Each structure stands twice: as C-alpha cells, then as structure tokens.
Chain A
Amino acid sequence: MGSRARRAPRQVGERNNAWAYLFIAPAIGLYLLFSIWPIFRGAAMAFTDYRFIYSETRWDFNGLSNYREMWGDDNFWAALRVTLRFTLYVLPFTVLISFVLAVVISRVTRLAGFYRWMIYLPVILPVAVTYLMFGELFNTRFGLINVTLQNLGMERPPNWLSDVDYALRALSIADIWRGVGFPTLLFLIGLYAIGTDLYEAAAVDGATGWQQLRSITLPLLKPVFALVLLLGLSSIPMTIDPMLILTGGAPRDTTMTLGLYSYQIAFQFGDLRLGYASAINLVLGLSSAVVALIVFRSLRGDIESTGPGRRWWRKRNATP
C-alpha cells in the first residue's frame, strides 16, 4: 500500500527510474565497446611495439621509442609534407565552395529544395564508387576530362593519376567533389537560423547584396565557419580512402599521406605493426586537433566582439 503510494508520481517527478538504465544499456554498451574503447586502446597501443602477427607483443610497452623511430623515419616526413599539401589543396576550396553554395541556396526563392538535395547527393554515394568513377574520369586516353581537353585542342593532356605533378591534385579534386555537401549543409543551417528579417531590413535601408554579406552574413556565420574548419582540420589530414582506392601512394609516393602510410604499416606491410602505426596516428591526430582547436577558439573568441551585424542584431532584438 505504502509502496504503491510512492510509485504513483513516477512518470514526472521521480528521481531515479531503474528502467531507464535497461533502456539505454544496449546503445551505450555498443558505443562503449566499439567506439570509446578503441580510442583509449589506440592511445595505449601507440606506446607499444605491437605487431599483430605476434600476439604476445600486444602489451609490449616501449616508452618513446616509436617516436624516436618516427623522428628518423624519412618516409614519415615525406608523408607529412604530402599530407600538408593535400590539406592545403582541399580545405580552402571546400570551405569556400560550400560557403558560396550555401549563400546562393539560402537566397533563391525557387528550387532551393532541389539544390539542397543535389548538393548532398555526392556525400551519400558509396565511397569506392565515387573514387573509382573519378579514376575513370581521369583516365588518360578515354577519361571524360582528357577527351574533352583534347577536343578543346590540347595536344597532350596530363596523365592525371600517374603524373607526379598532378596525382595529388586529381585526388584533391575528387575529395572536394565528395566533401562539399556536408559543410554546405552546416552553413545552410546557420544561414536559415539568421532568418530573413535582418536582410529585409537591410534591403529596405538600401544595403547592397555585398554589404549585406559583409556586415550580416559573415559576422553571424563565424560560429559555423569555426565548426566547419574544426571538422575539416580534424578529418582532411586523416584522409585515406582516395589514395587507398586509386593510387596506393604512387606515383613515387607523391600521394602517400600520413594516413595511408600508417594504414599500410598497420595492415599491409610485414608484421602488421599496429603499435607504430597507432603512434603515427596519435601524432597526426593530436597535432591536427591542436591546430583545429586553436582555429576554433580564435574564431569563437571573436564572436562576442561586436561586428556591425551583431550590434544591429542586438538592437533589433532589444526592441520588439
């Protein structure tokens, strides 16, 4: 009787409902096992000389010797340079293109839904299909790109994927094609959150589109820029797929990024050196995370400072 009375208000005010733990257990359990555990295990592995085919080396901690080896590893430094170049090719264009597309899509009155659908389409295509398709596009003799270039009068168009000067750029183009959709969506969400009132007011005041962009859009989108840069900086340097699928690091290691280098060490060469590969990944992951956070903080820190759009925004919100 007494327990019944205590149970009555359980739907709203009750402090602790044991059922809830049962409900979240499967999801949280899977997440802890397959998503969280590998983060910690990977960090630990980075200080071992674990070679997969010798399972007894699993916990062979070797202090900093992975990092000493890395310091003297010419392939590591070469791969780092390739990684930086790839990031420099991909990141600015991805951000710029996705920002322009988002601004345009947010301003059209017709077809916006279709455009959003279209821009996101490359993101959902199977990864291998996209890159293999670009492999065909970049084909020296029969690829769409070179045939078109020849039709336009170019005598000897580049041998894209096997030319040391072009291979990394070709992969970058493919990666940009595939990667633009998601940041565009993030920018769009930001733009829709700004709403139309500000722009209407600005238009009534006679502000040109350019002025609106500079004093409303850019300042108010700073958080989204910060987010896009954060996500880009922490994912682009890790890119493996296009290299793995199309070039395997060739020609002459000009597409051998750090991600691919560590992947090959871990899964394709010799004793499957998971330990050393994890160490490379840890260095790469930590350094790109640091850069990403610095960029993120510096942009976010600026947000509270009052750009013209921000001041206007506050004033308008203050007077209903």
Chain B
Amino acid sequence: MASTSLVPADSVSRKKSLRSRIARSEWYLHVVMIVALLVTFVPIIWMISTSFKDRLGFAEHPASLIPWDPTFVNYRYMLTAVDNLPVYMRNSFILAIGTAVIQVFVASLAGYAFARMHFRGKNVILTLLIVSIFVPRSGGLMALYELMAFLDLRNSLFGLILLFAANVPVPIFIMRQAFLSVPKEIEEAAILDGASWFRVYRQIALPLALGGMVIVATLAFITAWSDYLVTFTMIDLDSQMTLSVGIQKVLATSYQSALTTQFQGQLSGETADAAMLLTATLPVVVFYALLQRWFMRGLTEGAVKF
C-alpha cells in the first residue's frame, strides 16, 4: 500500500524554481555526508590496506591507506597455517543458512495465516507479537543458558539455529505484508475448487511472495552470521564454533604463530588480523551489497509497522 511511497523518491520537488533553490544550497549537505563517509569507510579501508601489507610495509607505513607494495602473504598464511579457520567458516555458513531456511519456512507459514485466514485470537496474537518486541531480552540470557542446557542444545549448531530462527515477529510482519500485497482472487478460486490451504500456500502464494522471503532470509543470514554474545555464550567447543566468535581466538594465536611458522618474518600480527577480519566480514557484506534494495525496503516496512 503506502509502503512503496515510503521509499523516497529522490527528487525532492516537482517545482522547478524550488528545485534549483535546493540544488544551489545542497553542497553543504554533501559535505556533512563526506565526513560521515570518511568516518565510516576509513577504518574499513585501512583494514583492507593493512591486509595487503607485509611485516616491513606495515612497520614503515602503518597508517597509509594504500598498500604501495601489495602482497598476498597474509591471505596465504590465513589459508594454509590457521587450522581452525575452515571449520569456523563452515560452521558459520551452516548456522546462517540454516537460520535463514527455518525462519523463512516458519515465518512464511505464519505470515500467510495472518494475511489470509480468519481465526479466533488473530488480532490478539498479532498485538502481543508487536508488544513483546519491546521487552528487553538481555536479562533472559541466563534463562536461555539454562534452557539450552536442559534441552541438550548447548554446543549444538542446530540448537543455535532454532534459537535464532525463533526471533519471528519482524519476519512474520514482513511475510504478512508480502502476502497482502498480491491479489487474493486466485487463491480464493483454488480454495473453492477444493485445494488444501497448504497447497494454495505452497504453490500459489509462496512464489508470489518471493521478495518478502528474500528479505527475511537476508536479515536472518546477517543476524546469525554477525552475532557474538549468544553464540559466545552457547558454544565453547571448537568443532561447533562460528567465525564471528572464533575469530577472536584465531587472532590471539596469530601473534605467536606469525613468529614461528614458515611465514616467520614476513607478516605481523596486525596484518594477519586484518586479513582474517575482512574474511569474516566478506559474506555479510556481499549479501548486503547484492540485496541492498530489498534489505532497505524490508527494514523500512518492518519498522513502519511498529
């Protein structure tokens, strides 16, 4: 409905004189944004640059944002000498993709019910879902720990997937919105013809709600991949550790192994760290970049509903 108009038309004005007035006075706005741009990107560019420096290059010009003598030694070191990195990486993908799949499944089912079906308690449940978002959760970490231990889901990626996928209110609203935005006549006809609700949902409604599913999956992927606190609390086995938590361990060891391995003298702790931090970031940034239009719209729509 109105949600599309919330995504701003970049043209502020239709009146010509006004537009020129705005354009003339716009330069200082961009100055503000350039400052924001620098604050946002300089740390990241510095990390990228550092990851392409060797020990000597970093020691001589630690602050330069351009690696004048680029080298892949940090990445070679990372891929060959850091034992746990592939395991962490695999676990992160399992966690993030698993969360996305389960969350899309349960949220689209529920979102469909809230969009198309009539049942007692519907509005009450919807309202409770919204209200519950605002109850602070960090106090629940201790209870969550007990629960996961009780269910024998500590140190289990599967348990963590369920835990992240359980954060359903926003995904349900996004899916509900996606189903509401497609016409319901075909579905009604199919129901009258005797198709089951599940078949209608799966074969007619779901393919049309692809946009909503992509948003939900992306949000879930990023949340699960980027989390620190919950993963850190629930997982302490190396074999189940994700990259977002394990990275800290890997960095701590890299200082020593940089001095002892075959890469001795070629890299320093800082340059190796930079390469690994960037690697841990790459998947979410790729998702974010590829899906940024969907992503922004999903956030806007989700937030408007509150």
* A196 B270 Cβ-Cβ under 8 A: no
Report yes or no: A133 in contact with B37, Cβ–Cβ below 8 A. Answer: no
Chain B residues with CB below 8 A from A136, complex form: 47, 50, 270, 273-274, 277
Residues of A within 8 A of B122 (CB): 20
Q: Are A24 and B110 in contact (CB under 8 A)?
A: yes
A8 engages B192 (CB within 8 Å):
yes
Q: Encode contact with B along A273-288: 1 for CB under 8 Å, 0 otherwise.
A: 0100110011011001
- The answer to whether A118 and B40 touch (CB under 8 A), given A19-B197, A109-B22, is yes
Knowing A105-B33, A108-B29, A127-B226, say if A35 contacts B166 (CB, 8 Å). Answer: yes
Residues A19 and B117 in contact, CB atoms below 8 Å apart = yes
With an 8 A cutoff between CB atoms, is A213 at the interface? no
Name the residue of chain B whose CB is nearest to the CB of A151: B63
CB interface residues, B 22-41, toward A, < 8 Å: 22-23, 25-26, 29-30, 32-33, 36-37, 39-41
Q: Whose C-beta in chain B lies nearest to the C-beta of A19?
A: B197
Contact B142 A277 (CB under 8 A): yes
- How long is the Cα–Cα vector from A285 to B117 in the complex, in angstroms? 37
Contacts of B226 in A (CB 8 A): 124-127
In the complex, what residues of B have CB within 8 A of residue A132's CB? 247-248, 251, 273, 277
- Return chain B residues, CB-CB under 8 Å to A14: 118
Chain A, residues 105-123, CB within 8 Å of chain B (1/0): the string is: 1111111110111111110
CA of A283 to CA of B147 in the docked complex: distance in angstroms?
22
Q: Which residue of B lies closest to A149 (CB)?
A: B63
Q: Is A215 an interface residue (CB 8 A)?
A: no
A42 and B139 contact, CB distance less than 8 A: yes
Instruction: Tell whether, in the assembled complex, residue B46 and residue A144 are in contact, meaning their CB atoms are under 8 Å apart.
Output: yes
Known: A35-B137, A124-B284, A234-B136. A26 touches B296 (CB 8 A): no
Interface residue? B225 (CB, 8 A): yes
CB contact under 8 A between A109 and B11, given known A10-B191, A127-B244: yes
B39 CB to closest chain A CB, in angstroms? Answer: 7
B132 at the interface (CB under 8 A from A): yes
- Are the CB atoms of B119 and A241 closer together than 8 Å? no
Contact with A along B115-153 (1 / 0, CB 8 A): 001111010010001001011111111111111010000
CB within 8 Å: A-B pair count: 296
The interface on chain A, measured as residues whose beta carbon lies within 8 A of the other chain's beta carbons, has a size of: 106
Contacting pair A31 B229 (CB below 8 A): no
Residues in A neighbouring B238, C-beta threshold 8 A: none
User: B280 near A129 (CB under 8 angstroms)?
Assistant: yes
Q: Given A104-B33, A244-B229, A274-B145, A20–B118 Cβ distance below 8 Å?
A: yes
Asked if A78 is at the interface of the complex by the 8 Å CB criterion, the answer is no
B52 contacts A by Cβ under 8 Å:
no
Min Cβ gap B215→A in Å is 13
On whether the beta carbons of A11 and B40 are closer than 8 Å, the reply is no
B229 with A200: CB separation less than 8 A: no
User: Please, how many angstroms separate the alpha-carbon atoms of A155 and B280 in the complex?
Assistant: 35
Q: Which of A38, A134, A148 has the most B CB atoms < 10 Å from its CB?
A: A38
In the assembled complex, the Cα of A253 lies from the Cα of B138 at a distance in Å of 21
Contact yes or no, B8 A241, CB < 8 A: no
Task: Give chain B residues whose Cβ lies under 8 Å from the Cβ of A80.
Answer: none
Which residues of chain A come closer than 8 Å to B82, judged between CB atoms?
A: none
B39's closest neighbor in chain A, by CB?
A177
Q: How far is the CA of A137 from the CA of B39 in the complex (A)?
A: 12
B277: which of A17, A36, A129 is its contact (CB, 8 Å)?
A129
A39 touches B19 (CB 8 A): no
Residue from the list A10, A129, A278, A289 in contact with B281, Cβ < 8 A: A129
Contact (A31, B136) CB under 8 Å given A20-B118, A127-B227, A142-B270: no
Select A11's contact among B192, B244, B285, beta carbons within 8 Å.
B192
Query: Bound state CA distance, A13 and B191, in angstroms?
Result: 13
> Given the known A-B contacts A11-B191, A27-B172, A133-B43, are A104 and B288 also in contact in the complex, defined by CB atoms under 8 Å?
no
Tell me the minimal C-beta distance from A206 to chain B in angstroms: 11
Q: Given B138, B198, B232, B244, which contacts A281 in the complex, CB threshold below 8 Å? A: B138
- Known A-B contacts: A12-B118, A100-B32. Give 9 more (CB < 8 A): A11-B188, A52-B145, A120-B296, A127-B227, A128-B228, A132-B277, A133-B47, A142-B62, A189-B303
5 A-B pairs in the complex with CB atoms less than 8 angstroms apart = A41-B143, A109-B22, A136-B274, A144-B46, A185-B303
Ordered nearest first, which 10 A-B pairs have the shortest CB separation? A38-B140, A34-B166, A23-B113, A281-B139, A38-B143, A20-B119, A41-B143, A127-B228, A27-B110, A30-B166
